[in-house]
């Protein structure tokens, strides 16, 4: 059952929704109201406008993960980082490349839900560059910019 979103008429012909739920369709109609009579206690309303519906879509990427640290031990480089504060984070991608300016490629096909990762595919004596990318749980997931890059040499 439709219900009024404002108790009093709006001063300007604009309305702003304060609470948005992504993936939920919201429909709106507008009615004019006029006061008649000497005491303005009688109100006349127009027919409702055409229905306008909107489905809010999350297009906002998470912020870049922070605090990335890489530590090398025998045949493994362990990574840790600080969890993102957004409520809709579904996980993180770990990216690796062979040098500072090189393109980084994801090591995991699906996001990891924890804030640590063990890269066991390293070769002793080789330096690797890592970055982390957060992904949210939107219907079409949004990716954060890459975290700061760190370099570590495998032992």
Report the pLDDT value the prediction gives residue 142, as an integer from 0 to 100: 98
Confidence bin at 110 (pLDDT 50/70/90):
very high
Residues 110 and 28 sit within 8 Å (Cβ to Cβ): no
User: What are the pLDDT digits (tens) for 90-107?
Assistant: 999 999 999 777 899 999
Residue 8: pLDDT band (50, 70, 90) is confident
User: For residue range 113-144, what is the model confidence (pLDDT) as tens digits?
Assistant: 999 999 999 999 999 999 999 999 999 999 99
Report pTM: 0.77
Q: In the chain, what are the helix, strand and coil shares in percent, each to the nearest 5?
A: 0, 40, 60
Q: What is the pLDDT of residues 21-54, one digit of tens each?
A: 888 888 889 888 776 765 666 777 788 899 999 9
Residues 6+ apart with CB under 8 A from 86: 62, 63, 134, 136
Calculate mean pLDDT across residues 52-65: 94
Which ranges constitute the DSSP H helices of the chain? none
pLDDT, position 1:
61
pLDDT at 45: 78
């Amino acid at each position: 059952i439709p219900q009024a979103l404002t108790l009093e008429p709006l001063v300007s012909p604009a309305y702003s929704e304060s609470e948005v739920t992504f993936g939920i369709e919201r429909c709106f109609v507008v009615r004019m109201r006029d006061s008649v009579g000497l005491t303005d206690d009688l109100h006349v309303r127009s027919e409702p406008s055409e229905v306008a519906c909107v489905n809010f879509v999350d297009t906002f990427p998470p912020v870049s993960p922070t605090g990335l640290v890489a530590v090398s031990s025998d045949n493994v480089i362990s990574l840790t980082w600080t969890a993102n504060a957004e409520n809709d984070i579904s996980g993180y991608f770990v990216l690796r490349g062979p040098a500072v300016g090189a393109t980084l490629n994801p090591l995991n096909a699906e996001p990891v839900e924890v804030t640590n990762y063990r890269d066991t595919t390293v070769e002793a004596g080789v330096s690797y560059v890592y970055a982390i990318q957060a992904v949210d749980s939107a219907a079409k997931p949004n990716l954060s910019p890459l975290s700061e890059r760190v370099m570590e040499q495998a032992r």
